[in-house]
Structure 1
Amino acid sequence: MKCKFLALVLSLMLTGASSYSGTPPRKLAKKPLVVFVTGDHEYSGEETLPLIAKELEKNYGMRTIVLKAYPDHNSEKNIPGLEALKDADLAVFYLRWRQLPPDQLAHIEAYLKTGKPVMGFRTTTHAFNFPKGHESEKWNAFGEFALNSPPGWGGAAKHTHYGHSSSTDVSVIPGEAKNPILTGVGPFHARSWLYRVLPDYPVKGSTWLLMGKSVNPDKEAIENPVAWTGTNSFGGKVFMTTLGHPEDFREESFQRLVINAIHWDLGLKIPKTWKGKLNIEVPYREAK
């Protein structure tokens, strides 16, 4: 597994733009630009994340761009506007089983190789789903090389969940209680059914922030981390959460986690004052 992963990273670094050199990140603009890249069949990320983007612009002095699959969320082969990543200070991904063309993947690859920060939600562990032998098959492991998560669904990592009828009790890992990202974040109940990422993920060196315990699982369940930070294969800061059901976005603790993590990824101080709970009422839809 380790040899295959190293070969994958080397392959990505040898194509396109130069790899991250370890030089200090460029100074942020007065208003940092956050680019949200959405495209999933199930969790309405293209509806929840624009509300987060609106809040960042209204109350936190940021600029945002939200990119969406076209013509709709079920379109797996087209997310227009990815060239916006060239100017992004942070890229936030909420993807599921896309098959983007090489010219669009090139924009994502170029961003990763700058060593700038990345953030991911839930199904971004399996952001891409190219057939075996496809020229872009390496992208199926996006979750691993970009977000320190399992490299796609199932497979050797046995990445799975505990049933759609289950939900998750989320708790703060005691040793991280004073982590700035967890400011204002307490235990909460998430509608997301728990993803299994253990035993091999998050990748070694990641910092676990929140733990999830499955409620009403359809099989024997173990507790799993549901949010972590780290550094990815390109030297970029990572925040990843396997939560992201639209009902999770209604939880104030989850809202604070997301806003805090965006600030952390950008190297900004976590806001001392919370602007108040957001009104996010977006429905869940069954995957096609």
Structure 2
Amino acid sequence: MKSYSYCFLLWIVSTLGPVFGQLPEIKRATRSATAAGAINEPVSSEPENSDLWLTLPGKNDANLAGYGKRIVLISGDEEYRSEEALPMLAKILAEHHGFTCNVLFSINPTTGTVDPNWLTNIPGLHLLDKADALILFIRMRSLPDSQMAQLEKFFKAGKPFMAIRTSTHPFAYGPKAKTSFKHWSFDHKEGDWVGGFGQKIIGETWVSHHGIHNGQATRGIISESSQDSPILRGVTDVF
């Protein structure tokens, strides 16, 4: 699956070009230690500041399927670059299908920059109130109750959503976490929510790594007839 994900990402870059000029500064730091302890609320209340998320207006064409509709895309992982992939997916949905898209990010509340390693803050979740659908691509976040309540409200409304890759284990709360959503944690082992949100809502939680994590790669065999395809641009025989 990883090889297909990379191919799709390369195809988007080669055909549509980057949208990163519209993003806040991308900052990568060490993994936050707050995942194992108490959950800290963001420094300030939810701001009405669009600089903290990306908004792509849908193409003004009533013939497009997404005309007049909104999709919220939520990124937040420190392994698969969802903060890069989802803006490109949003551009496709906006320009080619007419959906207005909001892309949300893990934001360091002190610097106001995109930081995938910051586990406890995704501003803009109030935009889910306006959303017709959600695309979720996050991993082991430890969001405060005020932000989790926005997600809970969306899911209880029964609106459609798509969960990508690590979204089977989107939330992780340590044993000392002060939260009303501990049962959403991927490793929850009690009651009706064993396996957390992933198992209960999506149908699967995190199980294990395939092979040796960070120690094994994937070998791909590229046929001669396909080697010049834009989908394989930059792809070699080892991932």
Structural mapping, 1:22-171, within 5 Å: 30-71=67-108, 72-132=115-175, 134=177, 135=179, 136-140=181-185, 141-150=196-205, 153=206, 158-163=207-212, 164=214, 165-167=216-218
Give the partner amino acid of 2:147. Answer: Q
Give me the CA root mean square deviation. 2.8
| Structure 1 residues 229-270: Cα deviation after superposition (integer angstroms, max 9, x where no partner) | xxxxxxxxxxxxxxxxxxxxxxx9xxxxxxxxxxxxxxxxxx
Q: How does 1:171-190 map to 2 (within 5 A)?
A: none
Q: Which has the higher helix share?
A: 2
Match of 2:84, SS state, is helix
Contact 2:140/2:171, CA 8 A, preserved across alignment: yes
Give 1:161's aligned amino acid.
H
CA 1:168–1:117 in structure 2 vs 1: closer, same or farther (change >3 Å)?
farther
Q: Give SS of 2:107's match.
A: coil
Identity %: 33
Listed one character per residue, the Cα deviations across residues 163-184 of structure 1 (whole Å, up to 9, x for unaligned) are: 3423388xxxxxxxxxxxxxxx
Gaps of 5+ in 1: 1-27, 170-187, 190-251, 253-276, 282-288
Q: Deviations over 1:1-21 (max 9, x none)?
A: xxxxxxxxxxxxxxxxxxxxx
Aligned partners of 2:66 and 2:97 also within 8 Å? no
The 8 Å contact of residues 118 and 146 in structure 1, kept in 2 or not, is answered as no
Alignment: residue pair count: 144
TM-score (structure 2 length as normaliser): 0.54
Which amino acid in 2 is paired with 1:144?
A: Q
Secondary structure at the aligned position of 1:86 is classed as: helix
> Alpha-carbon deviation of 1:81?
0.4
CA contact (8 A) 2:107 2:123 kept: yes
Q: Give the drift of 1:121.
A: 1.2
Q: CA shift at 1:279, angstroms?
A: 11
Higher strand share: 1
Report if aligned partners of 1:76, 1:99 keep a CA contact under 8 Å in 2.
yes
Question: In terms of Rg, which structure is larger?
Answer: 2
Q: TM-score, normalised by structure 1?
A: 0.45
SS at match of 2:106: coil
